[in-house]
């Protein structure tokens, strides 16, 4: 990866059904310097899980970061998210 590629900005999304968890992920990622900023927005999701169609109220966490930090941010989210397979 070149220096220019490593510094490339990324927008990373993750959802959760828990508003407290959404803010914990947002604040934590910024505090740990894994994201420059974060936004939390309520949303409605439609998805297939284990063969069934579901709808749910969720909270979208949008994290602004850099390509060089993405792997660390993804691992950090997976270690703290309560979903078995968080959407990242």
CA dist., res. 67 & res. 31, Å (int)? 18
Taking only the tens place, the pLDDT of each residue in 26-37 is: 999 999 999 999
pTM confidence score: 0.86
pLDDT at 49: 87
**Mean pLDDT value across residues 44-58:** 94
Domains annotated for the chain, with CATH where assigned, are 9-80 (3.30.70.120)
Contacts of 68 (CB under 8 A, 6+ apart): 1, 6, 7
Q: CA dist 9 to 5, 12, 18, 79, Å?
A: 9, 10, 27, 23
> Is 90 exceeded by the pLDDT of residue 22?
yes
CA dist., res. 29 & res. 12, Å (int)? 11
């Amino acid at each position: 990866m070149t220096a220019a590629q490593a510094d490339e900005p990324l927008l990373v999304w993750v959802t959760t059904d828990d508003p407290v968890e959404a803010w914990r992920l947002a604040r934590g990622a910024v505090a740990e310097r894994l994201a420059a900023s974060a936004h939390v927005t309520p949303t409605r999701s439609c998805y297939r899980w284990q063969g069934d169609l579901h709808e749910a109220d969720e909270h979208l966490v949008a994290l602004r970061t850099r390509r060089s930090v993405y792997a660390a941010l993804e691992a950090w989210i997976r270690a703290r998210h309560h979903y078995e397979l968080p959407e990242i």
